[in-house]
Amino acid sequence: MALDEKTYGELREIAGRYPEARSGLLPMLHLVQSAEGRVTPEGIQACAEILEITPAEVSGVATFYTMYKRRPVGDYHVGVCTNTLCAVMGGDEIFSRLKEHLDVGNDETSEDGKITLEHIECNAACDYAPVVMVNWEFMDNQTPESAVALVDDLRAGKEVTSTRGPRLCTWREAERVLAGFPDGRVHEGPAAGGPSLVGLGIASERGWTAPAGSGSTGQPLAGSPAEVAHKTDTSQEAEAAAVEEEAPTSTTAAEKKEAQ
């Protein structure tokens, strides 16, 4: 089945963003996935035609990058980080629980077509380990129980919100954003999660700053400690409370506020 005219037009639009059209291939393949649910031979052919390269060259690219899928992906791509740190922190256990719970193997889709499970490599959220990604949105500090609840909610069609991001969209909708077509969810979710702010909080508490500079205000960019204190993701409360209990000696005022 050939791609529709709208998709063709958008593929051409992507190619047009770059000084040389072929640069558009990665986002174009994201768009193919959004339209087709995977990288299809038709999608490969369309990219090849638009970029005036061979289907073999497109195939070479499509099979190199792990985000491109040749088998249909479910509504939700659930990626469990099993790189060393997350694995040690519990990612391995989460992954095996989900395999069992969904009755799938790695890179397989649940029978209802909702969830594709995959173990993934480090996703740059190590301070929130163990990390699960749903459609490449962060689900931080997971446990086997929270992960099972997460996939159950997704399968039940409940609205789920990223722990550090927006309400989850489908995998195909996410792929469209990766192709460079924003979905309007940019302002959802916090600026940062607790761990992202931990150093800043300590500095604010202790009055530590970078040296005064020669800039027009004489002060480096800074948010006020109060702002910092309000920015903590509420889902981290229990965690923060636990931290506070266990680390009384170094608990800062900022962190106490976080825990409230």
Partner 1 sequence: MVDTLTPVLTANWGAERSWTLESYEQHGGYRALKKALTMAPDDIIAAVKDSGLRGRGGAGFPTGMKWSFIPQDNPKPKYLVVNADESEPGTCKDTPLMMASPHTLVEGVIISSFAIRANKAFIYVRGEILHVIRRVQNAVEEAYAAGHLGKDIHGSGFDLDIVVHAGAGAYICGEETALLEGLEGRRGQPRLRPPFPAVAGLYASPTVINNVESIASVPSIIDHGAEWFASMGTEKSKGYGIFSLSGHVTRPGQYEAPLGITLRQLLDLAGGMRKGPDGQPRQLKFWTPGGSSTPLLTAEHLDVPLDFESMGEVGTMLGTRALQLFDETTCVVRATLRWTEFYKHESCGKCTPCREGTWWLAQTLAALERGEGSESDLDLLLDQCDNILGRSFCALGDGATSPISSSIQFFRDEYLAHLTHGGCPFDPAASTAWADKATAGARA
Partner 2 sequence: MTTTPDKTEVDLVTLTIDGVEVSVPAGTLVIRAAEQIGVQVPRFCDHPLLEPVGACRQCLVDVPDAGNGRGFPKPQASCTLPVAPGMVVSTQATSPVADKAQQGVMEFLLVNHPLDCPVCDKGGECPLQNQAMSNGRGESRFATSGSGGVKRTFPKPINLSPQVLLDRERCIVCQRCTRFADEIAGDPFIALVERGAQQQIGIAEDAPFLSYFSGNTIQICPVGALTSESYRFRSRPFDLVSTPSVAEHDACGSAIRVDHRRGKVMRRLAGDDPEVNEEWLTDKDRFAFTYASLEDRLTHPMVRDRVEDGGDGSLRPASWPEAFAVAARGLHAAGGVGVLTGGRLTAEDAYAYAKFARVSLGTHDIDFRARPHSAEEAEFLAAHVALTGPWDGGVTYADLESARTVVLVGLEPEDEAGAIFLRLRKSVRHGGTRVLALAPYTTRGLRKMHGTLVPTVPGQEPAVIADLLGRADHGIDAGAVVLVGERLAAVPGAFSAVADLVAKTGARLAWVPRRAGDRGAVEAGCLPTLLPGGRPVADAAARVDVATSWGVGSLPEGPGRDADAIVAALAAGELGGLVVAGVEPDDTTDPAATRAAIEAASFVVALGLRDTEVTRAADVVFPVAAAVEKAGTFLTWEGRPRPFEAVLPSPTSLPDLRVLAGISEELAALGQGAPLGFRTVADVRAEMSQLGPWDGARPTMTPVQPAASTEGQDGLALSTWKLMIDGGSMQDGDKHLAATARPAVARVNPATYAALGLVEGAAVTVTGDRGSVTMPVEVVDDMTDGTVWVPASSTGAGVFAGLASPGTRVTVKGAGA
Name the site residues for partner 2 (rule: CB under 8 A). 41, 44-45, 48, 53-60, 63-64, 66
Q: Which does 126 bind (CB under 5 to 8 A by kind): partner 2, partner 1, none?
A: partner 1
Distance CA 140, CA 132 (A): 6
Least distance between partner 1 and beta carbon 112 (Å): 23
Distance separating alpha carbons of residues 32 and 20, to the nearest angstrom: 20
Shortest Cβ 138–partner 2 spacing (Å) = 25
Distance separating alpha carbons of residues 15 and 221, to the nearest angstrom: 38
Contact 194, 231 (CB under 8 A): no
Tokens of 235: 């889902």
Q: Residue 152 Cβ, how far from partner 2 at the closest point, in Å?
A: 34
Per partner kind, with CB cut-offs from 5 to 8 A, the member of partner 2, partner 1, none near residue 223 is partner 1
Complex with partner 2: residue 26 or 48, whichever CB lies closer: 48
* CB nearer partner 1, residue 74 or residue 79: 79
Work out what residue 229 binds among partner 2, partner 1, none; the CB cut-off runs from 5 to 8 Å by kind.
partner 1
Toward partner 1, which CB reaches closer, 112 or 238?
Answer: 238
DSSP state letters, 165-184: S-B---HHHHHHHHTT---S
Q: What is the DSSP letter of 4?
A: P
8 A C-beta contact, residue 118 and residue 107: yes
CB of 214 to partner 2, least distance (A): 40
Q: Please report, for residues 14, 16, 32, 53, the alpha-carbon distance to residue 180 in angstroms, rounded to integers and kept in the order given.
A: 8, 12, 12, 22
Could you tell which of partner 2, partner 1, none binds residue 74, using a CB distance below 5 to 8 A set by kind?
none
Judged by beta carbon distances under 5 to 8 A according to partner kind, the member of partner 1, partner 2, none in contact with residue 2 is: none
What SS3 state is found at 65?
A: coil
User: Quick one: 148 or 178, whose CB is closer to partner 1?
Assistant: 178
Looking at the Cβ atoms of 71 and 230, the one nearer to partner 1 is 230
How is residue 257 written in tokens?
């506020």
